């Protein structure tokens, strides 16, 4: 390696910023010199102005979307881990229900959302969508984790006459923790996607106030700068979710799991 670990870290932060610093002026200049109208491609400065001008509306919408995302994520986490534990403890439950969990996962959420909007009140339908999309990776990962115990450790627990509950609590769940956290990291991003998809589906039906609804609404009105501002907020929300979950992952695993250990050279 030609760079020290420290220099490497600086590069990893500095290079993306340089790329952004180069790209934004080019974008701004291209729009101005090419006389491109803002409803075709708004320049970055205009998007920033719109973001500030429409902040109250956008912020309210962001809160609505984030609340749905958070609730969906929480339900997915509890439901996914809980169901995986039940599946692990009771084989017949796994055999009976797992295929349906797969069906729920492989059917595109965009296709399910309109149906849900017919049966459920709009906020509940949106929450349900966020949950459906986020739930499966938690279930699948936790199931994998619970089945990945060290066999010798399993024998050791058997040797000391451990009960099923002790095996679950002291062996299976800790062994599964890295897998669970990996599933949650995927679920965080997916619950945002689920919430947005459902809001867009609901938005076309004329209801809703989330960020995705703002995007759909701005689209109809050809208010492209506001559309971009809302999109920017969504991206930032996704990034924040991802890094928060990565932080939780790091804090929980840093002392023992390969994935979170500092490189020693």
Partner 1 sequence: MPVQAAPSSSIVALHGVGKTFPNGTTALAGLDLDVRQGEFVSLLGPSGCGKSTALRIIAGLSEPSSGTVEWRQQDAHPGSESRIGFVFQEPTLMPWTSVFNNVLLPLKLKGIAGDKAGASVTAALDRVGLQGFAQAYPRELSGGMRMRVSIARALVTEPDLLLMDEPFAALDEITRFKLNNDLLDVWHALRTTVVFVTHSVFESVYLSSRVVVMAARPGRVFTELLIDAPYPRGQDFRTSAEYAAFCRRTSEALAQAMQAGGGQ
Of 83 and 173, nearer to partner 1 (C-beta) is 173
Query: Which residues, numbered 108-137, are part of the site for partner 1 (CB under 8 A)?
Result: none
90: phi > 0 → left, psi -120 to 50 → alpha, else beta; which? beta
Cβ nearer to partner 1, comparing 119 with 262: 262
Closer CB to partner 1, residue 154 or residue 219?
A: 154
Site string for partner 1, 151-170 (x = CB under 8 A): -xx-xxxxxxxx---x---x
Within residues 208-227, the interface with partner 1 by CB under 8 A covers none
Letters for 20-59 (x = contact with partner 1 by CB under 8 A, - = none) are ----------------------------------------
Least distance in Å: CB of 45 to partner 1?
A: 50
**Number of residues forming the site for partner 1 (CB under 8 A):** 21
Please state the closest distance from residue 147 (CB atom) to partner 1, in A.
Answer: 17
Site for partner 1 in 235-264 (CB under 8 A): 255-257, 261
Closest distance to partner 1 from the beta carbon of 209 (Å): 44
Name which of 95 and 256 has its Cβ closer to partner 1: 256
SS (H, E, C) the chain: CCCCHHHHHHHHHHHHHHHHHHHHHHHHHHHHHCCCCCCCCCCHHHHHHHHHHCHHHHHHHHHHHHHHHHHHHHHHHHHHHHHHHHHHHCHHHHHHHHHHHHHHHHCCHHHHHHHHHHHCCHHHHHHHHHHHHHHHHHHHHHHHHHCCCCHHHHHHHHHCCCCHHHHHHHHHHHHHHHHHHHHHHHHHHHHHHHHHHHHHHHHCCCCCCCHHHHHHHHHHCCCHHHHHHHHHHHHHHHHHHHHHHHHHHHHHHCCCCHHHCCCCC
CB nearer partner 1, residue 56 or residue 163: 163
Q: Rounded to whole angstroms, how far apart are CA atoms 204 and 101?
A: 28
Segment interacting with partner 1 (CB under 8 A) among 81-89, 114-122, 172-180, 187-195: 172-180
Residues that bind partner 1 (CB under 8 A): 150, 152-153, 155-162, 166, 170-171, 174-175, 177, 255-257, 261
């Amino acid at each position: 390696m030609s760079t020290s670990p420290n220099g490497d870290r600086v590069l990893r932060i500095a290079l993306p910023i340089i790329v952004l610093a180069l790209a934004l002026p080019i974008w701004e200049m291209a729009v101005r010199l090419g006389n491109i109208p803002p409803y075709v491609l708004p320049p970055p400065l205009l998007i920033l102005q719109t973001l500030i001008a429409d902040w109250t509306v956008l912020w309210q919408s962001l809160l609505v979307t984030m609340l749905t995302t958070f609730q969906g994520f929480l339900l997915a986490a509890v439901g996914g881990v809980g169901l995986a534990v039940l599946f692990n403890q009771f084989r017949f439950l796994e055999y009976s229900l797992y295929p349906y969990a797969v069906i729920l996962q492989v059917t595109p959420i965009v296709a399910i959302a309109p149906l849900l909007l017919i049966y459920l009140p709009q906020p509940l339908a949106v929450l349900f969508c966020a949950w459906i999309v986020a739930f499966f990776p938690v279930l699948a990962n936790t199931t994998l984790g619970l089945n990945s115990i060290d066999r010798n450790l399993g024998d050791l627990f058997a040797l000391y006459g451990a009960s099923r509950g002790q095996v679950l609590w002291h062996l299976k769940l800790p062994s599964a923790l890295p897998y669970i956290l990996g599933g949650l990291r995927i679920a965080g991003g997916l619950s945002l996607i689920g919430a947005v998809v459902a809001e867009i589906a609901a938005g076309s039906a004329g209801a809703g106030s989330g960020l995705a609804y703002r995007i759909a609404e701005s689209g109809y009105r050809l208010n492209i700068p506001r559309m971009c501002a809302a999109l920017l907020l969504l991206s930032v929300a996704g990034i924040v979710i991802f890094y928060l979950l990565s932080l939780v992952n790091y804090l929980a695993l840093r002392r023992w799991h390969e994935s979170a250990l500092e490189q020693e050279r």
